[in-house]
Amino acid sequence: MTDPATDKHSDLDVLRDLGKTIRARKSESAQTSYTAKLLDGGISVCAKKFGEEAVETLIAAIEDDKNHLAEESADMLYHWLVMLEAADVSLADVMAVLRARQGVGGLVEKAASTPR
């Protein structure tokens, strides 16, 4: 694991950079880029792969293995960003929602949201 105190990039910078890389892969060939292959499959392929990685992350958490959980979490975050890209939702869009929720208690926020 890296030491955040010595890391040149903030955690958000790493996610932002990864998002930019994913966006750039969109124009590459699906034969040479795993990311392009996922994006070529559309939102359903990307969402399904994200779901698989989310389940693997849950299993790693239950196993109580911190290294395995960190690895699976990294895979999940990558696939989450790919899914967002496929849905044309930016990391900035997600951050805006989180910013708007700051200072609002979870129960209050849940009560205010409309059922889907």
Distance CA 86, CA 96 (A): 19
In a domain, 60, yes or no: yes
In a domain, 102, yes or no: no
Distance CA 35, CA 22 (A): 7
Residue recorded with tokens 């609002």: 104
In a domain, 46, yes or no: yes
Distance CA 30, CA 38 (A): 8
| pLDDT string in tens for the chain (116-residue length) | 455 555 666 898 999 999 999 999 999 998 999 999 999 999 999 999 999 999 999 999 999 899 999 999 999 999 999 999 999 999 999 999 999 999 877 676 666 666 66
- pLDDT at position 104 is 74
64-88 b/e with 16+ CB inside 10 Å = b?
A: eeeeebeebbebbbbbbbbbbbbee
23: containing domain: 11-89
Residues 6 or more apart in contact with residue 19 via CB below 8 angstroms: 81, 84, 85, 90, 91
In a domain, 44, yes or no: yes
Read off the CATH number of the domain in which 18 is found: 1.10.287.1080
In a domain, 67, yes or no: yes
In a domain, 111, yes or no: no
Number of domains in the chain: 1
In a domain, 109, yes or no: no
Residue recorded with tokens 């299993």: 59
Residue recorded with tokens 């293995």: 65
In a domain, 39, yes or no: yes
